């Protein structure tokens, strides 16, 4: 069954709806949704996004924003604006949604693939670009799984390990086959707050049997999502990022 891999939705209900609709058409509803965390924070609809993910039967791991919502003692891991977004999101979540978030783990293995928000195997805070090539190489080599999906950076990318050699490249819209016999780390980009200069929502489809990876760019009503952020009294930069693709 194909995997629909989402990351960094960040309370953007409009982007999430567009992505789920797009993925549903491509898979005829026969798929598994896996989220790499950061469903909340920055956007205007944290509660609605969590409800939508639960309704979709999504499997999910904790992102650093979910950890912040659940653990106020992690404040020092965030800058002031990000922490404001975390606490605002926490105030909008129902007890039921908070309990669901608290039930999530920091990593999952689904159909032979590993899923974690930050650096594998189970780090929610470290950005992939913060880790040295040697640290990434060691992390990939130690995994039991040869395909791992990460988020957190809001940027698409592919890191492959073959014969001890690490290769890194950008991921663009379209399909490719992940080479068998190699290990692959797929940075799945962001559904709700891309930071690559392209405001469209990004997500991945992956077929574990054929190893075909498809990257999708989906247009949605970003102006509506941005307007809701401003109406909620959140910082203007959170809205502007949606319109500019984080550039």
Mean per-residue pLDDT for 80-89? Answer: 96
3-class DSSP state for residue 236?
Answer: helix
Indicate whether 235 pLDDT > 90: yes
Please determine, for residue 247, whether its predicted confidence score (pLDDT) is greater than 70: no
Domain that holds residue 153: 3-244
Looking at residue 162, what is its pLDDT?
95
- Looking at residue 91, the DSSP 8-state letter turns out to be H
- Give the span between the Cα atoms of 169 and 182, in whole angstroms: 15
Q: Is the dihedral of CA 71, 75, 78, 84 positive or negative?
A: positive
CATH number, domain with residue 9: 3.60.21.10
Mean local confidence (pLDDT), 197-217:
97
**Residues whose CB is less than 8 angstroms from the CB of residue 96 and which lie 6 or more positions away in sequence, other chains included:** none
In this predicted model, what pLDDT tens digit does every residue of 27-79 receive, in sequence order?
Answer: 988 899 999 999 999 999 999 999 999 999 999 999 999 999 999 999 999 99
pLDDT, position 29: 80
Taking only the tens place, the pLDDT of each residue in 140-163 is 999 999 999 999 999 999 999 999
**Per residue in 86-131, pLDDT tens?**
999 999 999 999 999 999 999 999 999 999 999 999 999 999 999 9
3-state secondary structure of 225: helix
Number of domains, the chain: 1
């Amino acid at each position: 069954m194909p995997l629909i891999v989402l990351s960094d939705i960040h309370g953007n209900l409009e982007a999430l709806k567009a992505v789920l609709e797009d993925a549903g058409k491509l898979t005829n509803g026969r798929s598994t949704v896996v989220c790499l965390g950061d469903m909340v924070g920055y956007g205007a609809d944290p509660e609605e996004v969590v409800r939508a993910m639960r309704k979709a039967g999504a499997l999910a791991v904790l992102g650093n924003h979910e950890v912040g919502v659940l653990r106020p003692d992690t404040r020092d891991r965030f800058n002031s604006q990000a922490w404001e977004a975390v606490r605002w999101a926490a105030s909008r979540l129902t007890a039921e949604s908070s309990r669901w978030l608290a039930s999530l783990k920091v990593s999952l293995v689904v159909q032979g693939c590993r899923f974690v928000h930050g650096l594998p195997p189970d780090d929610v805070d470290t950005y992939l670009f913060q880790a040295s090539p040697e640290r990434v190489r060691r992390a990939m080599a130690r995994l039991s799984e040869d395909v791992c999906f990460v988020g957190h950076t809001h940027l698409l990318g592919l890191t492959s390990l073959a014969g001890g050699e690490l290769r890194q490249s950008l991921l663009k819209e379209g399909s490719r086959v992940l080479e068998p016999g190699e290990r692959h780390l797929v940075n799945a980009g962001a559904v709700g707050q891309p930071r690559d200069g392209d405001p469209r929502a990004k997500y991945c489809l992956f077929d574990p049997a054929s190893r075909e990876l498809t990257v999708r760019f989906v247009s949605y009503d970003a102006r509506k999502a941005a307007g809701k952020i401003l109406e909620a009294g959140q910082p203007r930069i959170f809205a502007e990022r949606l319109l500019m693709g984080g550039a």
